[in-house]
Structures are given as structure tokens and as C-alpha cells.
Structure 1
Amino acid sequence: MAVASSRQPFVCLRRLPKTRRTYSTTQTPLPPTPPASGAAKLTTRRLISLHGPDAPKFLQGIITNNLSTATRSGFFAAFLTAQGKVLHDVFVYPTLGSGFHDLHNKTEDPGFLVEVDEKETGNLLKHLKRHKLRSKFALRVLEEGELDIWSVWREQEKWTPHPALPSSQGANIDTQGNITLIDTRATGLGQRILLPSTSALDTFSSMQGVQDVGLAAYTIRRYLRGVPEGQDEIPRDDVLPMNTNFDIMSGIDFKKGCYVGQELTIRTHHTGVVRRRVLPVALFDSASSPPEKIVYDASTKVAVPERNTEIKIEGKRGKPGKWINGVGNVGLAMCRLELMTDLQVTGEPSTFSAEDRFIVKSEQDAKALGVKAFVPDWMKSKIRAPKLQRRVE
């Protein structure tokens, strides 16, 4: 009598048909349209504390923005590789004079909190320790629940100063000793506030008149302005800071001294041409006309493409860009400026045509989504026109 075997038949995984899903499932329902005023707890971000006499000098040598012992206002910056590519996008908060500093540091030595993508906390900590050597400062990651990071925006605060307020104004501490920072990356992004996790929001003067509307509202507002953030949108060691708009988002001081990655950054700024930038884009049915302006639609039925999906020109060859991330019908894409927009960044004739249609298309699905890139006014005013080369006869 034969005994039935319980073993499953062998299947060679290499011979299974490969499938590649280009479109992810659309959220149902989508987040509502962000209100004109609101607040969002940034659960995707984490804080690292540096405190000690050498903290300013140490940070000055490895970040893209300018910092000194007199710095009192927070700012946006980046850590770069030696080759000038972005490792981490960060916000730096001076803590001296705040309730956090008085409670935890208890000295007059300068201190800073560095805000980074939560998933990159360990990598940034290793990066800091690698460069620390004998510098005199303490380094630690804040525990979860120690301080919460909030983004707050109000309807009447439509414009943001560029660059940030002078450090002598000490504008980073509110009346209750909480650390604040003006978000200078784009107009209307508001400010960031670091608050104790155990306290009710309505007890803080900085939060008066706003309600917690969720992280999705903050994300949509970023996308509409063309502001990338975090590892998913600024891949580690993959792009130059100009490609992700650090130069026009007050993230680089081109007059400061040496720092890691400075050589290529300065050379690109003064002699190079930035052909690719992250821009806000709108998705639409490819059978309909492209939208005239970018507006978030919570009732949209389009499916968001997966990251790094190639954008193509309908009926033509070429690689005008790549999709990065999005919510509903709005998102971010890395775009070749002279292919997807009417901006001219070189002295050569522009290849942009108003008749071109840009699409994101699946290899398995014949249906394609239309894509249209937009250049916000705040961004257009900061992208430099090409220099005219004079011929010497």
C-alpha cells in the first residue's frame, strides 16, 4: 500500500512569471481638503539632542546652513555626503533659553535639537558619531513622548520670510518657553513648534485658534507647494541638494565656510545648471484636458503611481521625469524643467512644447494617467535665469 506524501511539489521561483505593479491602491476615502488654519502632529519625524561647548562648531562643519554660538533662530538644512549628495533633510532648533534646555541641559553651554525623518534616526546618529571625534558635547536621541513636533499654519500668515529671521532676535522661543521655528521652505507653510507630549494643546498660546487636522493635511499642503520631505521623497545618497530645491528653500548658505559636501555644491551653484527639480504635479484622466492650476480633489478616483515610476511624453521618446509621491490627484515628481515646463535654465533653445502630453503608464495596463507639472510663484521667482554668454570677437 503506497503512503501518500505530505511534501509539496517543488516549484522553481525563477520560472514563475514576474509581475510589476505600477499603481498602488487609492485610499478610500481620501483625506479632506486641508483647512486654511490648522495644526498637524508630525509623527514621521524624530529629534536628536546635541549639547555642549563644541556643538555649534561641530554642526557648522557638517551641515549646509550657517550656524554659530550666537544662533538663536532655527533653520532648515541638510547633511551631505563628501560627493555632495543629500543624506538627510533636517531642521535645527537652538535650545538655549527654552524650557527644554533648562530642564535637561541645566548649563549655559549651547544646545541644539536636530529634527530628521524617523526612519533615518539611526543613520543620522551614526553619521554624527563618525564625525564627533573629540568634540565636547553630549549626543542622544529623544525618547518617544518626550517632545512632539507640530506644524501650525494660519490663514492670515500667507507669506514666509526668506531667509529666516536674524539670529539676534531670539525668535525661536515662545512666551511659555517652547521652541518654535519658521518654516522657510515655501510660502505659507507656517511654523514648527516642539511641545511636551503630556500636555493639552489648548494650554499653549502658540496653538490658540487652531485644531489638530492630521498629518495628511500637512502632507497635501507640502505637495501643493512642491516641498519634498524625508527618506521617501529625498532618497539617501541619491540626489544633489539643488535637485530637491534646498537652494531655493533657504536650506543652503552659499557664503559660509567649509563643510562636508561643499565643493560640488558651490561649484554647481556658481557654474553649473540645474536641469532637474522636484515640482508639484497634478494627475488627471489622460482622455481629458490638463488642469489649468493644481488643486487637491478629495473626490478623485485616480490611483497614485508607485515611487520612481517613469513619466513619459505621449507619442514621443524621452524621459522627462519620475513620479515621487502623492495623495489623490496631487503629488511630487522629479522633472526636467525644459521638457515639462516653460522655464528656461540654459542658454540653449528650450525643448518644451505646450502641445506635449505627459503620462504615467503601467507596463501591464493600457490605461495611462495624465501628468502636469506646475511651477509655484514662490519657486519661479527664485530659479535663476540662464546667464547670457558674450562672444569675444
Structure 2
Amino acid sequence: MPVAISRQPFICLRRLPKTKRTYATSQTPLPPAPPTSGAAKLSTRRLISLHGPDAPKFLQGIITNNVKPDSRAGFFAAFLTAQGKVLHDVFIYPTLGSSFHEQTNKTEDAGFLVEVDGDQVPTLLKHLKRHKLRAKLQMRLVEQGELDIWATWKEAEKWTPFSGVAGEGSNVDDRGNLTLVDSRAMGMGQRILLPSTTKLDTLPAMEGIQDAGLDAYTIRRYLRGVPEGQQEIPRDDVLPMNSNFDIMGGIDFKKGCYVGQELTIRTHHTGVVRRRILPVTLFDAVAAPPEKMQYEASTSFATPERNTDIKIDGKRGKPGRWINGVGNIGLAMCRLELMTDLQVTGEPSTFSPEDRFVVKTGAEEDAQTLGVKAFVPDWMKSKIRAPKLQRRVE
């Protein structure tokens, strides 16, 4: 007798109830506004140590900023692909004269610490080893618990970058700790590398400064329009000018050859940067747009998912793309002549103050539409070049 085969009943997948995705709402408490003076331990960042006689020359050929062998001032820079797209945003700390150099390198050869997004350490190490060839230097990952990276800020003090001249502008404090002025935007403060056994408040310069947490540092970055790390500057995705490296002091346009220089220098001299990362604020779509950029810890709506398109209400086109945010503020990649009144070409601007920009949050069936407004901070306005007017030869 034939054996009866039991079959599962047919189920139409379209009839199944859809599982709702969860998003951050008012039920998740938002961090408070950052204090006027404070500090944050940057647990999302890691350090790679390079030292040896060829270390300055090696770095000079693969980063966007100028490495001066006789300078002890740290700086902001980027590693690029051969096609000129950003691989990693980094801070470079020359270590000569510091306690770290004396205890670990123990030579008079130049040394550097490269600060990078913690998740990108294996990728950056692979990139460095690929270009090392026969260069006389050693590299290693600084272990966790060896050095901590701190960001500090004081509203009353205006830290400015040092001159970088030999013997001046040293980034080593009187206790041998490495420091660096964060010159990406006004008010970003200072970075300090401390042994994990050292408490921040034991330093005389940091007396009275409390740990405000990583969220406070992130909110301060967003308010100033400063992107950082892989989530906000995806590798091999954008040109450095799109992420504001040119106006944040991350590129030296007068230095010699380095990986990715050709397209970078050509864009700087002849190209037009139409898209840049800007700080944006979210608001109720039916309300009037806010007049200024301000963080509100009482925000009750969800934050859009990363890479969600920003649209013009009632019109076609995609003037921007949401990147990341906290509460009602964040960063977005914006087309300048659509979302701001900046003029980046000699052609008439297409910006209209009457246009309303919107972004959707949540799943398709219960998506919420929020208004978006982009702001151009004063520090950006002063650094973005006006378009060159081409004169017609008669």
C-alpha cells in the first residue's frame, strides 16, 4: 500500500501579520544637554603606534595632511583610496618627548599615535601594512587599558591650534601626557591621552571638569556639524570635501604627493563641492521650522534610520540624506544649493525659502513624517569659498 505523505498546510505569506520594528521614541530617555565645560572618555576610538626612522616619511606619503619631522604638534587628517575617497578619519599625535615614547619606544626615532574609529582598527592596520614595504618602522595596536582618549572642553577658554614650529607648540603637557587641540570646528576643545590608571581630575588644568559622557561629546559634534567615525563617514563612499575635511583643517593642499592626492587637489582648484555634511534639526512637519539649531532632550519622535532620503515636500528630487542623530538634531549630507542659501557655482541658486524638507521615520505602515532644516554654522560660512566668476573674453 502506498504510504500517505503528510503535507503542511499551505500558508500565504501575504496574510501573515507583519512584525513591527522598534525604534527609539520618547520611552527611551534622551541624554541631557551637554554642560558648558566637561569631558568625555572616547571609548569608540583606538590608537595605533608607529615609530622608527622612516615613520614621518611613511605617513607623509599616505595621509592628507603635512607631516613635519621637526614638529611635535598633533593634527587632524584622513587616509584616502587611490581614487581619492575617504578610508579613515584620524588624529595624529607625534610622541617624541612624551612619557609614552620614553616608556614604550625607548629610542630617539620619531614616533606617532594614530587615533581611529575602534571598529576600523583591523582595516587600517591592513592598509598600513600594505604600504609599509621596506620602510624602517614598527607598528602595533595600543592595548585597551594602556592609554585612554579623552575629549575636554571649556566654554570660557578658546583653544587654538599651535604653530607647529620646531620647539614651539609641543603637544606634551608638563606631566608628559599627549594633548591635541581639536581644530575641526570652533569650541570642539582639546584631546588628552592619559594612562588608564590616571584620573582626569588629578591634572591641574582639568580641575573641576566632570565626565559628561560620550553622548555629551556626540551632541556637541552634531551641533557644530562635525562628522566622525565609520557610521558618519563610510569608507570608500565620499570625497573628503563632502565630509568637510578641507574646511576642518584635515588637508594640506600645498604638500607633495600622497595616496588619493590627484582627484583631491583637482577638485579643490577646479571642481565644485555641491554636497556637504551639515548639522540639521528635526521638527514637527506641521509646525514652523526652528530659527536656530538647539538640542531638546524632551523630543518625543523617533530618529530616522541611517541613509534615509530627505525629500522636498510636494516636489521631486532628493536634496539630502540623513546620516545620524540624537533626538531632534543630527547630521545630513545636503545639496547646498537646494537646502541652503549658499552659492557654490556661478549659476543662479535653486534654493527657495518656501521649500519644506521632510524625512520619514519608522516602518512603512506607521511611518512618521518630520520636517528637516539644515543650518550652516558660522565657522563653515567663513571657510566655504565663494564661486569664481568666469569672465567672458570679448
TM-score (normalizing by structure 2): 0.94
Residue 311 of structure 2: SS of its match in structure 1?
strand
Q: Distance between the aligned counterparts of 1:329 and 1:53, measured in 2?
A: 49
Q: Distance between the aligned counterparts of 1:296 and 1:240, measured in 2?
A: 29
Q: Distance between the aligned counterparts of 1:314 and 1:102, measured in 2?
A: 60
* 8 Å contact from structure 1 (residues 164, 184) kept in 2: no
Q: Distance between the aligned counterparts of 1:269 and 1:303, measured in 2?
A: 38
CA 56–288 in structure 1, closer or farther in 2 if over 3 Å, else same: same
Q: Distance between the aligned counterparts of 1:136 and 1:19, measured in 2?
A: 57
Matches within 5 A, 1:32-47: 32-47=32-47
The equivalent of 1:301 in structure 2 is 300
Q: Distance between the aligned counterparts of 1:33 and 1:83, measured in 2?
A: 40
Structure 1 residue 155: deviation in Å?
1.4
Q: Does 1:390 align with 2:388?
A: no
Q: Distance between the aligned counterparts of 1:246 and 1:272, measured in 2?
A: 15
Partner letter of residue 30 of structure 1?
L
Q: Does 1:125 align with 2:110?
A: no
Matches within 5 A, 1:1-393: 24-25=24-25, 28-157=28-157, 159-161=158-160, 164-168=162-166, 169-362=168-361, 363-365=364-366, 367-393=368-394
Residue 268 of structure 2: SS of its match in structure 1?
helix
CA 274–383 in structure 1, closer or farther in 2 if over 3 Å, else same: same
Partner letter of residue 264 of structure 2?
T
* 8 Å contact from structure 1 (residues 183, 189) kept in 2: yes
Partner letter of residue 34 of structure 1?
P
Residue 90 of structure 2: SS of its match in structure 1?
strand
* 8 Å contact from structure 1 (residues 93, 114) kept in 2: yes
Partner letter of residue 391 of structure 1?
R
Q: Distance between the aligned counterparts of 1:184 and 1:134, measured in 2?
A: 34
Structure 1 residue 22: deviation in Å?
9.9
CA 15–116 in structure 1, closer or farther in 2 if over 3 Å, else same: farther
Extract unaligned runs of 5+ from structure 2.
Answer: none
Structure 1 residue 201: deviation in Å?
2.2
Residue 140 of structure 1: SS of its match in structure 2?
strand
* 8 Å contact from structure 1 (residues 338, 351) kept in 2: yes
Structure 1 residue 208: deviation in Å?
1.8
Structure 1 residue 61: deviation in Å?
0.2
Deviations 1:135-178 (A, max 9, x none): 00110000001000000000112x453x6532421420001000
Deviations 1:296-321 (A, max 9, x none): 00111121101000000000011100
Deviations 1:166-222 (A, max 9, x none): 242142000100000000100000000000101222222342221101000000000
CA 244–19 in structure 1, closer or farther in 2 if over 3 Å, else same: farther
Extract unaligned runs of 5+ from structure 1.
Answer: none
Structure 1 residue 68: deviation in Å?
2.3
Residue 222 of structure 2: SS of its match in structure 1?
helix
* 8 Å contact from structure 1 (residues 174, 206) kept in 2: no
Structure 1 residue 289: deviation in Å?
0.4
Residue 322 of structure 1: SS of its match in structure 2?
strand
Q: Distance between the aligned counterparts of 2:26 and 2:262, measured in 1?
A: 43
Residue 290 of structure 2: SS of its match in structure 1?
coil
* 8 Å contact from structure 1 (residues 75, 164) kept in 2: no
Deviations 1:252-298 (A, max 9, x none): 00000000000000000000000000000000000100000000001
Structure 1 residue 10: deviation in Å?
9.0
CA 26–63 in structure 1, closer or farther in 2 if over 3 Å, else same: farther
* 8 Å contact from structure 2 (residues 162, 169) kept in 1: no
Q: Distance between the aligned counterparts of 1:85 and 1:24, measured in 2?
A: 32
- Count of aligned residue pairs for this structure pair: 389
Structure 1 residue 365: deviation in Å?
3.4
Q: Distance between the aligned counterparts of 1:353 and 1:288, measured in 2?
A: 18
Could you say what the CA RMSD is over the residues aligned between the two structures, in angstroms?
Answer: 2.4
Q: Distance between the aligned counterparts of 1:45 and 1:12, measured in 2?
A: 48
Structure 1 residue 8: deviation in Å?
8.1
Q: Distance between the aligned counterparts of 2:105 and 2:236, measured in 1?
A: 33
Residue 306 of structure 1: SS of its match in structure 2?
coil
Q: Distance between the aligned counterparts of 1:176 and 1:7, measured in 2?
A: 76
* 8 Å contact from structure 1 (residues 26, 328) kept in 2: no
Q: Distance between the aligned counterparts of 1:58 and 1:338, measured in 2?
A: 39
Q: Distance between the aligned counterparts of 1:368 and 1:42, measured in 2?
A: 33
Deviations 1:67-104 (A, max 9, x none): 02112100000000000000000000000000000100
Deviations 1:330-379 (A, max 9, x none): 00000000000000000111000000000002543353000000000000
Q: Distance between the aligned counterparts of 2:348 and 2:100, measured in 1?
A: 55
Structure 1 residue 13: deviation in Å?
8.6
Partner letter of residue 313 of structure 2?
E
Deviations 1:226-247 (A, max 9, x none): 0000000000000000000000
Residue 46 of structure 2: SS of its match in structure 1?
strand
Partner letter of residue 136 of structure 1?
K
- Identity across aligned pairs (percent)? 77
Residue 32 of structure 2: SS of its match in structure 1?
coil
Q: Distance between the aligned counterparts of 1:52 and 1:299, measured in 2?
A: 52
Q: Distance between the aligned counterparts of 1:15 and 1:81, measured in 2?
A: 48
Partner letter of residue 268 of structure 1?
T
CA 370–10 in structure 1, closer or farther in 2 if over 3 Å, else same: same
Q: Distance between the aligned counterparts of 1:12 and 1:50, measured in 2?
A: 59
CA 351–106 in structure 1, closer or farther in 2 if over 3 Å, else same: same
Q: Distance between the aligned counterparts of 1:172 and 1:8, measured in 2?
A: 71
